[in-house]
């Protein structure tokens, strides 16, 4: 398992890029809209991992609700895995509370699934398996 990215909820992606790209100097490699999640994402690599900025594109998406309840900030941590479904089966068998029992499509053609913060020390944990595009 490798750290893949840290997801940060931001109310305004362009304003966030003024810090992460312009002031801090990270390179912006990709911006993608994930309609199913109601977000626009920006990826900025840091070593082997990335910072993922998540901006809501509608008021009902998960990121919009997160910002409304908790304000902007760290939203989730993502680990890269092989065999996502078998990881989910194992975790489920171990009594871990899963948000997704089946992988679903994420950014960059990846398959992703989330583990509930109740089972992960208060952290929303994403597992991602690279798809054919990655
Ligand atoms: Zn993510």
Domain residue spans of the chain:
2-129
Alpha helices by DSSP H, listed for 1-132, are: 13-17, 62-70, 84-93
CA of 78 to the centre of ligand 1 (A): 6
Q: Which has more confidence, 133 or 116?
A: 116
pLDDT > 90? residue 131: no
C-alpha atoms less than 13 angstroms from C-alpha of 85 in its C-beta half-sphere: 3
CA of 7 to the centre of ligand 1 (A): 5
Q: Domain 2-129, what fold?
A: 2,3-Dihydroxybiphenyl 1,2-Dioxygenase; domain 1 (3.10.180)
CA of 5 to the centre of ligand 1 (A): 6
Neighbours of ion ligand 1 (CB under 5 A): 7, 52, 78, 126
CA of 95 to the centre of ligand 1 (A): 23
Predicted confidence band at 134 (pLDDT cuts at 50, 70, 90)?
very low
pLDDT of residue 132: 63
Spell out the residues 6+ positions from residue 77 whose beta carbon is closer than 8 angstroms to its own: 3, 6, 7, 123, 124, 125, 126
Best CA proximity match to 106, nearest among 87, 82, 134, 86: 134
CA of 38 to the centre of ligand 1 (A): 13
- The torsion of the CA quartet 55, 57, 61, 64, rounded to 10 degrees, works out to 50
């Amino acid at each position: 398992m490798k750290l893949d990215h840290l997801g940060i909820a931001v109310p305004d992606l362009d304003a966030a890029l003024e810090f992460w790209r312009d002031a801090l100097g990270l390179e912006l490699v990709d911006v993608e809209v994930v309609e199913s999640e109601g977000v626009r994402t920006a990826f900025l690599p840091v070593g082997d991992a990335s910072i993922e900025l998540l901006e809501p594109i509608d008021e009902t998406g998960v990121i919009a609700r997160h910002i409304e309840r908790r304000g902007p900030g760290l939203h989730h941590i993502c680990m890269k895995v092989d065999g996502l479904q078998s990881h989910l089966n194992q975790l489920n068998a171990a009594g871990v509370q899963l948000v997704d029992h089946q992988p679903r499509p994420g950014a960059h053609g990846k398959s992703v699934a989330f583990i509930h913060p109740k089972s992960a020390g208060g952290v929303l944990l994403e597992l991602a398996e690279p798809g054919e595009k990655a």
